[in-house]
Structure 1
Amino acid sequence: MFWSALFLLLEKTRNSYRSPEYNMIFQALFECMDLPSWLLFGFGILLLLDLIRNRRPQNFPPGPWALPFLGNVFTGVDFKTMEKLSEQYGPVFSLRRGSERMVYISGYKMVKEALVNQLDSFIDRPIIPLFHATFKGLGIALSNGYLWKKQRKFANTHLRYFGEGQKSLEKYTEVESNFLCEAFKDEQGQPFNPHYIITMAVSNIISSVVFGHRFEYTDASFRKILELDNDAIVLAGSAVTQLYDAFPGILTYLPGPHQTVHANYRQITEFLKKEIEKHQEEWNPDDPRDFIDVYLDEIEKKRGDPEAGFRIDTLLVSTLDLIEAGTESAANTLRWALVYMMHYPEIQEKVQAEIDRVIGQCRQPTQADRVNLPYTDAVIHECQRMGNIVPLGFPKMASKDATLGGYFIPKGTSITTNLASVLFDKNEWETPNTFNPGHFLDSEGRFRRREAFLPFSAGKRVCIGEHLAKMELFVFFTSLLQCFTFSPVPGEIPSLEGVLGFTYSPEEFRILAVPR
């Protein structure tokens, strides 16, 4: 197509001049150009077009030199690389992947400026090709504008209705913590991998709210769904997979890990479709049992407002959003918490001593105990900080022309906030690279909040599962430490270096859970 267009352009130019002299010049040009010359000429034209198309906007954030056509695709996509680049180019810098320019923001001061002080400047989501095939700009996490506002407001309202309003979330969490502790007891002090026991326990809380029921830990079909989701999240963060976002038009037809991500999400959505179809068959608008039931009712109510997006396909994506928001962060943090308790047994002993003093062994911990367990609360927060579950947050997009750090960021530019740089900001934390619960305690041992504690991001796009995750972390962690002492399998001390996918999770490990 390019060569045809080029030939027609030359012919048009040639025909616009009727003099014999011009005809002779063009005839000589065509005759002297062989195939290599034409290829070189064509490459030069393409290179010129690339330079014009991808020239850096005036006063745009600086960044490393980008290769023609490819951009900075060979630059690492991990948070440690981003931190090194921020040291070189400053807290606001840019990279180009393919033809798309992306801005990265590092450090508490600048991240707060973007997400809090300029609340409405970076509120939109860009189209992320890897996820767009599944989410299609619907639901809660990846939608924009009026649809996003309506869907998020509805989810917040009705998660509260089935949650805090009737204390269901807390009740579900307390009941599930019993199942979790029983599952650990069933291992009888032998080495085991707690990964999917924890993941299923955490997922059961949101499942109880969304589906109206929990799943047994022996349910092979549900465990398969969680495994597919875990694999997709790990693969989504790899450099090879993220090439798909830079060149989706080409890689759509080629094999690679992006195909596995898409295939996994297709299986997950099929599972969710069956849950929704079952609800449709049993639906009674006068007796809503769970989130899906009230959403089905809202579909009927909002038929006159199609822009709000209340449809079955949006319900499917919203359900996937809530499953992921209500599972991934808390489950990974709990796994990190076990890793840190094995590395720091003296901290584990202090947590257990506080639990024994305040709660004892005669009753189960509840959310109401948090205020009386400041050290335990501090340890959980430090596990979140050091665990660094979503180091680069979730991409956002400039919703209007904006200025950040003295640089101009045009509307539509993709933005990534380096949350890891906030959680480890040396200007905000006394010992940023050391596991230290004292970060969250004052001089009298009382719990203290820290502004630079942003594991769930901030602003209007803060994680919708934040409240639920905090509750789960406290009740599950406290219940486990009340019932067990955790130690590594001899010769198998877990690594403190995690696995970087879309999230940052511990390597697979086995553990010994000795009943107290």
Structure 2
Amino acid sequence: MELLGMTTIFLLVCIACLLLFASWRSISQKEKQPPGPIMLPTVGNILQLNPWNLPESLKKLSEKYGSVFTIYLGPQKVVVLYGYDVVKEALIDQADDFSGRGNLPLLKKLFQGTGIVTSNGETWKQLRRFALTTLRDFGMGKKSIEERIQEEANFLVERIRNTHERPFNPGSFVVHAVSNIICSIIFGDRFDYEDKKFLTLIDLLEENNTLQNSVQTQVCTLYNFFPTVMDYLPGPHQKLIKNVDKVNEFTLEIIENHQKTLDPTCPRDFIDAFLNKMEQEKGNSHSDFTVETLTRTTLDLFLAGTGTTSTTLRYGLLILQKYPEIVEKIQKEIDGVIGRDRSPCMADRSQMPYTDAVAHEIQRFIDFLPFNVPHTVIKDTKFRDYFIPKDTIIFPMLSSVLHDSKEFPNPEKFDPGHFLNANGTFKKSDYFMPFSAGKRICAGEGLARMELFIFLTAILQNFTLKSVVDHKDIDISPLVSTLVNMPRPYEVSFLPR
């Protein structure tokens, strides 16, 4: 009996030790969070970061702390993922864990977390599912929207032709054309280039681009460090917020007109389809389909469908001025496959590997959203050897993927060869992530690719670019590299071919 009692005590002690060890190990693992520079009270790591070139600052920190590290934007903790392997592992292999949207203070102020881009949880799932289905219903990814883009490309070409070779900044022309595509889907029609309300809207977008092009945009970056203080200070961030509010008012006015003229049996566009969905869920007090979410989702689609592609195309035209030999190769391919008498179409792309490679290289090189749109982890997450607490903001650095030197030799150089095989055929790359990856990948990726190829090809089919300065002197680096990379202002003449 005594032996049995000793054995029992021994076993209990062993079990207690195992439980204690397991508990200690769990706590230890939870405490093993990604390393990073020492944060200072209130300001976080602002003194270790260059707000004029945040991507470069984070690149240097990754060299010291590894591919997963922590920074603090003021009191806000952010985990940075640097490199293809960790970005892929997070956004694709652990897609559910990293599927939250990280609302930095400026994003939250601008979009209030209610639309498709900035919402989370079940609201985001419902809105994204509805948006994808409805956008497809109204032509996205289909032949009908391709024809709409071709038609708009013809309008753009004629508008450029009417400049009669005078040098000008093509920004507003490009924004008009690209914006009209998403407008035809969500608002039901394109806008005439002389429409006063549309011109006002485009002016607001152009002003926001100017603010982002300005060195003052660093004030907007500082908003993410000190939002409470910045709310009371004047600066470009206040203008940015007011401009988005005005675009929101424009959207709300269109929605109100749709409500007055709605025919439930014949929806004209995305807004009508959403209004029908609101009516179907009228008895559901917890419905995610409300006028507020409609306004914000429409605004999200409009801004995303206008800004990214128009900036990419405008930046691409700047880059191509620097490399006239690349333009000549594209035009030779255009002449051989399409000729001068018909509009480019998506079926041409498979026969135009060089043009396709240039379109991809433009997106890779400009690295429009170096930080990606911020994510969060939706639960306490084990990632590699680290513990990341629920709701931690994540920066999956697209810049580190698009400029990976192993995949893209000399990544800081513009080189279409990054997407060409030795025999001249197009080369795909898993590292090509300008639209992000995983569950939060851009809903309009297919539309953006189609627009970029058709608009760019149509322009170069009809015109040669003539810079106002020597092409060797053109600076194609972004004006300021912060949350978005914007091209430097420029003028160009379009010479008819």
TM-score of the aligned structures, taking structure 2 as reference length: 0.89
> Measured at CA, do residues 233 and 393 of structure 1 come closer, stay the same or move farther in structure 2, by a change above 3 Å?
farther
Q: State the partner residue of 2:311.
A: 332
* Segment drifting more, 257-266 vs 410-419: 257-266
Tell me: CA distance 1:443–1:491, structure 2 relative to 1, closer, same or farther (3 Å).
closer
Moved more, 408-417 or 66-75: 66-75
Contact 1:151 1:308 in 2 (8 A): no
CA distance in 1, matches of 2:441, 2:453: 20
1:66 aligned partner:
39
Length, aligned pairs only: 461
Equivalence map 1:241-320=2 (5 Å): 241-320=220-299
Q: Deviations over 1:94-153 (max 9, x none)?
A: 111222211111111111111111111111113332232342221100001111111001
Corresponding residue number in structure 2 for 1:513: 494
Instruction: Render the CA deviation track for 1:277-301: whole Å, top value 9, x for unaligned.
Output: 1111111111111111111111101
Q: Any idea what SS the aligned residue of 1:119 has?
A: coil
Q: Distance in 2 between matches of 1:232 and 1:488?
A: 25
What is aligned with 1:415?
Answer: 394
Return the match for 2:205 from 200, 219, 229. Answer: 229
Distance 1:165 1:389, change over 3 A: closer
Match of 2:17 in 1: none
Q: Which one of 201, 205, 216 corresponds to residue 181 of structure 2?
A: 205
Q: 1:380 to 1:269 in 2, by over 3 A?
A: same
Residue 10 of structure 1 is matched in structure 2 by none
Call closer, same or farther: CA 1:341–1:58 in 2, change over 3 Å: same
Change in Cα spacing, 1:241 to 1:484, as seen in structure 2 (3 Å) is same
Structure label with greater radius of gyration: 1
8 Å contact 1:391–1:419 — kept in the other structure? yes
Aligned pairs (5 A) from 1:13-412: 58-74=31-47, 75-77=49-51, 78-164=54-140, 167-232=143-208, 235=211, 238-412=217-391
- Aligned partner of residue 224 in structure 2, secondary structure: helix
CA drift at 1:87? 1.4
Partner of 1:26: none
Amino acid at match of 1:59: K
Distance 2:445 2:317 in 1: 21
The letter for the 2-side match of 1:402 is T
Deviation at 1:164, TM superposition (A): 4.3
Greater relative CO, 1 or 2 (CA 8 Å, sep 6+): 2
Give the match's secondary structure for 1:254. Answer: coil
* Aligned equivalent of 1:430, options 385, 389, 409: 409
In structure 2, distance between residues paired with 1:65 and 1:235? 32
Structure 1 segments (4+ residues) deviating >6 Å = none
Determine if contact 1:202/1:327 at 8 Å carries over to the other structure. yes
The corresponding residue for 1:44 is none
* Cα distance in 2 between the residues matched to 1:192 and 1:61: 49
Residue 236 (structure 1) shift: 6.8
Call closer, same or farther: CA 1:476–1:216 in 2, change over 3 Å.
Answer: same
* From 438, 445, 451, the counterpart of 1:459: 438
Q: Percent identity?
A: 44
Write the letter of the residue equivalent to 1:111.
V
**Alignment partner, residue 34 of structure 1:** none
Whole-Å separation in 2 of the counterparts to 1:191 and 1:351: 22
Shift of 1:239: 3.4
What letter matches 1:242 in structure 2? T
Contact 1:105/1:111 (8 A) holds in 2: yes
Per the TM alignment, residue 257 of structure 1 is displaced from its structure 2 partner at its CA by: 2.8
Counterpart amino acid of 1:80?
E
Which amino acid is 1:173 matched to? Answer: I
Distance 1:105 1:276 in 2: 39
Counterpart-to-counterpart distance in 2, 1:267 and 1:273: 10
Q: Does 2:485 correspond to 1:504?
A: yes
Taking the aligned partners of 1:395 and 1:155, their CA distance within structure 2 comes to: 21
**Unmatched tracts of structure 2, length 5 or more:** 1-28
Question: Structure 2: which amino acid aligns with 1:456?
Answer: F
C-alpha deviations, 1:39-90, integer Å up to 9, x for none? xxxxxxxxxxxxxxxxx97212111121122211232342122112111211
Report the secondary structure of 1:364's partner residue: coil
| Contact 2:248/2:299 (<8 A) preserved | yes
The equivalent residue for 2:14 is none
Could you give the per-residue CA deviations for residues 402-453 of structure 1, whole angstroms, max 9, x where no partner exists? 2334222111110011111111111221231221111111122111210000
Query: Structure 2 counterpart of 1:509, which letter?
Result: Y
Unaligned runs of 5+ in 1: 1-55
CA distance, structure 2, for counterparts of residue 438 and residue 123 of structure 1: 33
